[in-house]
Amino acid sequence: MWFRPAAFVLVAVLLACPAAGAAEPVPIDMEVDADAIIPPPATHHMGREIAQTMHYTGAPWLVRESRQREEDCRLLLEALEVKKGQRICDLGCGNGFYTLELARRVGPDGLVYAVDIQPEMLRMLSRRAAEEGLDNIRPILGTVVDPRLPKGQVDLVLCIDVYHEFSHPELMLARIRESLSAEGRLVLAEFRGEDPAVPIKPLHKMTKAQVRAELEPAGFRLAREFDRLPWQHLLFFSAGAPPAPADDR
């Protein structure tokens, strides 16, 4: 992905400084188990090179003016078919570009878990949520192996341009699967790897075939596809039973 580091550092610093008289930030769950053992990160997964996580100094790129035009974010949100009262996770939420709108859509009886591995991103989101008066957002500091979600309670886990950056995809998928409710869905938006016209670095793109090749062995089944976004795949997965071992007879 593209950004100018020096300029973005300046903007990120400004975002990190609360203004005088600003609303009290939404509390962030920072209770990560410091003693948990995390395996070394992988560099590749099933033949795909894993991209590095976008640094929080690149946060302004997430709220750039051109994003709606380039990605049609409103159409993506409509395709999710969010319902009032749902529990949704914005996994890899960044500074909350989608989180705030999801919170509006689930309403006061719903809840949005906003998970990121960078505290700086969560602090930006927390202040934005407070400024918007949204109290149905729960910011959570996750880890590279665990989003720290409640088991069996999440109706939709949304990963927008995030999955390809998971350094431990198998462990993360297992935890996501545990978090889903009976009818819950994991939804991935990924820039189309099959399309050279999509102006994103190849490392940050995925093909449908690659996504399915990685998620299906983890116990996910493709339930729906939405193909009307300008640059991205939008794939909906249910958590079915893991595939049976191959019969060697």
Q: What is the mean pLDDT of residues 171-190?
A: 98
Ranking 88-102, 117-131, 230-244 by mean pLDDT, the lowest is 230-244
Domains, the chain, with CATH or none: 68-239 (3.40.50.150)
Closest CA to 207 of 48, 24, 29: 48
* DSSP strand pairing (111-116 vs 87-91): parallel
- Determine the pLDDT at residue 58: 83
Judged by DSSP in three states, 99 sits in helix
- Determine the pLDDT at residue 244: 56
Judged by DSSP in three states, 95 sits in coil
Q: Which two tokens stand for residue 17?
A: 């400084």
- Determine the pLDDT at residue 241: 60
Of 243 and 187, the structure prediction assigns the larger pLDDT to 187
Q: Which two tokens stand for residue 119?
A: 């505290």
pLDDT digits (tens, 9 = 90+) for 194-206: 999 999 999 999 9
pLDDT digits (tens, 9 = 90+) for 224-244: 999 999 999 999 999 976 555
**pTM, whole model, 2 decimals?**
0.87
- Determine the pLDDT at residue 175: 98
- Determine the pLDDT at residue 24: 84
Judged by DSSP in three states, 15 sits in helix
Of 245 and 89, the structure prediction assigns the larger pLDDT to 89
Average pLDDT, the chain: 89
- Determine the pLDDT at residue 108: 97
- Per-residue pLDDT band for 2 (boundaries 50, 70, 90) equals very low
Considering just the CA atoms, what is the radius of gyration of the chain in Å? 18
213: CB partners within 8 A, 6+ apart: 46
pLDDT digits (tens, 9 = 90+) for 80-89: 999 999 999 9
Half-sphere exposure of 137 (CA within 13 A, CB side): 33
Q: Are 225 and 237 in contact (CB under 8 A)?
A: no
Of 96 and 7, the structure prediction assigns the larger pLDDT to 96
Judged by DSSP in three states, 31 sits in coil
Q: What is the mean pLDDT of residues 88-98?
A: 96
- Determine the pLDDT at residue 22: 60
